[in-house]
Chain A
Amino acid sequence: MNRRGSGCLKDGPGVIGRNCRRVDGIAKVKGSAFFAADRKIDGMLLARVLRSRVPHAVLNKIDARSALEVPGVVAVYTASDIPGENRVGIIVKDEPVLVDDRIRRVGDALALVVAESEEALAAALPAIKVWYEELPGIFSPAQAMAGGAPAIHGQGNIQSVTRIVKGDADSALKEARVVISRRYTTQMVEHAYLEPEAGLAAVEDGQVTIWASTQNPHYDRREVARVLGIGQNRVRVVQAPTGGGFGGKLDISVQCLLGLAAWKSGRPVRMVYSREESMEFSPKRHPCVIDYTSACDGDGRLLAVKVKIVGDTGAYASYGPATLKRAAVHASGPYQVPNVFIEAYCVYTNNPTAGAMRGFGVPQVAFAHESQMDLLAGALGLDPFTIRLRNCFQPGSATATGQRLIQSVGIGQTIEQARAGAVQLGVLGGKR
């Protein structure tokens, strides 16, 4: 309900309350929307990445001489061809565009082949010789955090720690009627957007333009400029119609490699990932191990939660520090909890990189705090709606981080309506 009364939004100007057609809808239903892989420029080259098959190794040498002899191959680029900085990352600059010293995951980019045809690319990739010395891999955060574990990056394997402390959780646990502790584990998830990553780059008048399937063109532009060692005014990134992202296209995929290839070769270059490459290389949802202790009084009112979240960010940080911070901030759920102790660790391993994915760490902790609420309800003989209604945020509640919620707190009403709907459908008894 708005100030001008109900219905007026529908009658007034603008789009609120109306069915609107998407601005790009007609092109999309006609098949005339140009996604990145649909774009062609005369004289365009194609590119493909040679990726690591081992998860952890010291890279000693790459010999591309045989690949360069394949007819149609124009160039093979390695780390030494990068004119600027060979490290990218939205929060921490820890990921090489092309590996220069250490392989940290299966799928790390080792060399970039640029050729006139797909056939030449297919013949050239296996002709590149790579010498490396394999290192033991670390495949779980527990292994990575253990004493004496080899450091995947210089500063150690714990990338970030977030702590949220409110009141005195330990003392509150002692006074509680019910205390429940459980461990929850969540799995890695691939976004599987329908369009695999793709892009096209061209250099004209000393400026490189990159059309890419991306969610983050401004960031892409900064990274391409840093990697090429040129000013941002000489880099233009155009977001092509993007066939889904869900957070997974916030990181760099083809952008820097294409920028490098077009910059060095002087010709337009296109690269399209296969589904397999997309699955292997793109960031995932953080798998988490969550140790959760909840305590309540005899009426089911929460007295305290203690939560430890360990998220596996894989070989590179990507959005990991922010994802784990968000997981920590939301770990006590939509509930008023007077005493809180939360720790969230973002940990490097040699697994695929984890980054942004819809919800950003919150779905992982929601699984844990909601499971805990059901267990507490069960221990006290309450139904799952009742215990949530007794604890959920109200206008005026304070969150674990001390934010006072002064308006628009709809969870109580939502729970009431969900319960009424469930009763109406006959899937729930009417009793409390």
Chain B
Amino acid sequence: MKPFRFTATINGRPVDLPVNPHRRLLDVIRDDLGLTGTKEGCGEGECGACTVLLNGRPVNACLVLAPEAAGCEITTIEGVAPEGGLHPIQEAFLEAGAVQCGYCTPGMILAAKALLDKDLSPTDQAIKTAVSGNLCRCTGYIKIIEAVRLAAAKLSGEGDAV
């Protein structure tokens, strides 16, 4: 198959590379760009481990063909933390004990980011809805929900309040 020219913005940086049009956005991110923080859990849109933000919206990168993402602004887990530090959502996941095996964590954090970028005082129901496309087999979700709540508090300047 003839490659096409894939141009997009990934984590604030422009990318421009030849990509076979049958490849998934997930393959471009992991294999071509070497951003392996985005995980593949099922390859069929069930688990959410490959969640990235496409123009701010959470998508399963395994269900997006590379051409569909061309021209978009893409955020992967590598683009969440500020240089030399952690994003408040990442801090909150560590503090709340929401990270166990860590395989769902990048996708969870991006799903949480998509929510908190729009709503800094989400209800528990809104948090559950936001992460409803992301499976976790270790935590039982309670601590993940607590982490998102804690992150909302941190981001709205309430410090350690939960």
A positions within 8 Å CB-CB of B:
19, 21-22, 24-35, 37-38, 40, 191-196, 241-246, 274-275
Chain A nearest Cβ from B122, distance in angstroms? 20
Distance A272 CA – B144 CA, assembled complex (angstroms)? 28
Using A194-B104, A194-B135 as known contacts, say yes or no to A25 and B99 having CB atoms under 8 A apart: yes
Interface residues of B in 26-57 (CB under 8 A from A): 30, 34-44, 47, 49
Q: Are A25 and B94 in contact (CB under 8 A)?
A: yes
* Bound Cα distance A9, B122 (Å): 36
Per the bound structure, the CA–CA distance linking A38 and B40 in Å amounts to 10
Using Cβ atoms and an 8 Å threshold, which residues of chain B touch A38?
30, 36
Sample 28 A-B pairs with CB under 8 A, ordered by A number: A21-B95, A22-B94, A22-B99, A24-B102, A26-B86, A28-B102, A28-B105, A29-B86, A29-B93, A29-B94, A29-B109, A30-B81, A30-B90, A31-B35, A31-B76, A31-B77, A31-B80, A31-B106, A35-B39, A38-B36, A193-B101, A193-B137, A194-B41, A194-B103, A195-B101, A196-B40, A243-B101, A275-B43
Which of chain A's residues have a CB closer than 8 A to the CB of B126?
none
Between B40, B77, B97, B135, the greatest number of chain A beta carbons within 10 A of the residue's beta carbon is seen for B40
Listed from nearest, the 6 A-B pairs whose CB atoms lie closest are: A31-B37, A243-B103, A28-B102, A31-B77, A38-B36, A29-B90
Contact between chains at A241 and B37 (CB < 8 Å): no
Interface size class of B (residues with CB under 8 A): 35 or more
Kindly provide the distance from the CB of A271 to the nearest chain B CB, expressed in whole angstroms: 14
Contacts of A22 in B (CB 8 A): 94, 99
Residues in B with CB closer than 8 Å to A35 are 36, 39, 103
**A residues in contact with B36, CB < 8 Å:** 31, 34-35, 37-38
Q: Determine the chain B residues whose CB is within 8 A of the CB of A246 once the complex forms.
A: 137
The residue in chain B whose Cβ has the minimal distance to the Cβ of A31 is: B37
Q: Which residues of A contact B78 (CB under 8 A)?
A: 30-32
Chain B CB within 10 A, most for which of A30, A31, A196, A275: A31
Residue B19 CB within 8 A of the other chain: no
Is B142 on the interface with A (CB-CB < 8 A)? no
Question: Whole-angstrom distance from the CB of B105 to the nearest CB of chain A?
Answer: 5
Task: Please measure, in the bound complex, the distance between the C-alpha atom of A22 and the C-alpha atom of B47, giving whole angstroms.
Answer: 24
A35 to B78 CA separation, bound complex (whole angstroms): 15
**In the complex, A27 Cα to B30 Cα: how many Å?**
17
Interface bits B89-131 vs A (CB < 8 Å: 1, else 0)? 0100111010111111110010000000000000000000000
Chain A min CB distance to B20 (Å): 10
Interface of B: prevailing SS:
loop
A85: shortest Cβ distance to chain B, in Å? 32
Find the residue from B36, B37, B86, B101 having the highest chain A CB count within 10 A: B101
Tell whether B25 is near chain A: CB-to-CB under 8 Å: no
B80 CB to nearest chain A CB (Å):
8
Residues of chain A contacted by B35 (CB below 8 angstroms)? 31
Known: A31-B78, A35-B36. 11 other contacts (CB 8 A): A21-B95, A28-B99, A29-B106, A31-B35, A31-B106, A35-B103, A38-B30, A195-B41, A196-B40, A196-B41, A243-B39
Q: Contact: B41 with A275, CB < 8 Å?
A: yes
Tell which of A19, A196, A241, A275 touches B95, judged by Cβ atoms closer than 8 Å. A19
A367 to B39, CA, bound (A): 36
CA distance A246 to B138 in the complex (A): 9
A34: chain B residues at CB < 8 Å are: 36
The answer for the CA separation of A407 and B125 in the assembled complex, in Å, is 43
The reply to whether the CB of B145 lies closer than 8 angstroms to some CB of chain A is: no
B37 touches A30 (CB 8 A): yes
Task: Select the residue from A21, A196, A244, A246 with max chain B CB neighbours within 10 A.
Answer: A244
User: Given the complex, which residues of B lie within 8 Å of A194, measured CB to CB?
Assistant: 39, 41, 47, 49, 101, 103-104, 135-137
Q: Chain A's nearest CB lies how many Å from the CB of B139?
A: 11
Closest to A196 in B: B41
Expressed in whole angstroms, the minimum distance between the Cβ of B32 and any Cβ of chain A is: 12
